[in-house]
Every structure is written in C-alpha cells, then in structure tokens.
Amino acid sequence: MKVLSAVLALAVSLAIVGNLSAEEKKKGKYPDRPTIGGMRMFEGLDLSEEQKANFKELWKEYLPKLKAVGEKLRDILTEEQKTARAEARKAAIEAGKKGKEVRDAVQDAVKLTDEQKAKFAELQKEMQALRKKMREKGMEILTPEQKEILKKKFESRKKHKAEEK
C-alpha cells in the first residue's frame, strides 16, 4: 500500500507542477488542468468517465489549498534568496546535476535563517498532509486492477532509476 501511495503522490505532484510549454510559461498562462488526463503515469489505466470526473473534483478541492501553501513557501524567501535560488538551479542543471544534487546546490545558495528553516519545515508538513489526504482519496477512486497496474509501473520505474545509478 505504501508503494501505491508513493505512486499516487508522484502523480499528484506531477499534476500540480504540470508540463507547461515554453510558450505558455512566457505568456504566464496555465492550461485548464482537469486533473490527470494527460499524465503518462495514468496511461493504460483506462479511467472511466466517472473516475475522471472524481479526479477532477479532487483536483478542484485540493489545488487551491496546495497553491496557498506553495505561495506561503515562496514568501519565506527574500528577493536576494529568490535570485540566488534561480541562479544556483540554472547553474546546477547546466552542470548536468539532477534531483538531489540540484536541490542541495539550491539549498546551499539560498542560506536560510533559522527562522526561515522553522517556517519552511512547518509549511512542508502542511503540504505533506494535504498531499497525503489527496493521495488517499485518489486511491479510493481507482479499482484494484488499476492499483495493481500503477504499482507495476512504479516498480518498473524504480528499477530503471536504480539501474541508471
């Protein structure tokens, strides 16, 4: 069950972040994201119209809450820290770093104060709680067969990532 929860958490995170095209980013427009319709994670699950509608409702319920916490997280940083974060991220990616290496480089560049660290930790817990609730409700939408397919996809992806290292 933990694996399935982790898979749905990943899928939800991807839905939140979304894959905007460069043009959409430049214009500052966000497409109407009904939920997970276009996400690769859910390809092959053959979601029914009812399930799609349920995910859309789940999305409508949690997106504003997740965005609000995200805004609070961004507001913790000063303008200088935001600039340092962006520059460090860009440099790390250009250097070929990925995942944890990028996060570590960004964290080193931002230099949070103890007060900022405390606020950040508090908001991260809030974000995790929201994602957990959303993940649990999302798992209730899927059939046992769909959960099994999702589990196999996650295990395959995990194995592939392990082989890359």
Q: What is the residue-wise DSSP string for 120-159?
A: HHHHHHHHHHHHHHHHHHHHHHS-HHHHHHHHHHHHHHHH
pLDDT per position as a tens digit, 113-141: 999 999 999 999 999 999 899 888 888 99
pLDDT at 56: 87
Helices 2-17, 144-164: crossing angle, 10 deg rounding:
80
Per-residue confidence at 23, pLDDT binned at 50, 70, 90? very low
For 134, residues 6+ apart whose C-beta sits below 8 A from its C-beta are: 12, 58, 62, 66
Would you say how long the chain is, in residues? 165
Whole-Å CA distances, 84 to 13, 54, 76, 90: 24, 40, 14, 10
Per-residue confidence at 21, pLDDT binned at 50, 70, 90? very low
Mean pLDDT in the chain? Answer: 77
pLDDT per position as a tens digit, 29-73: 444 443 343 345 666 788 899 998 998 898 899 889 999 999 999
pLDDT at 130: 93
Per-residue confidence at 152, pLDDT binned at 50, 70, 90? confident
pLDDT at 127: 93
Q: Which of 13-22, 109-118, 133-142 has the lowest mean pLDDT?
A: 13-22
Task: Tell me, yes or no, if the pTM score tops 0.75.
Answer: no
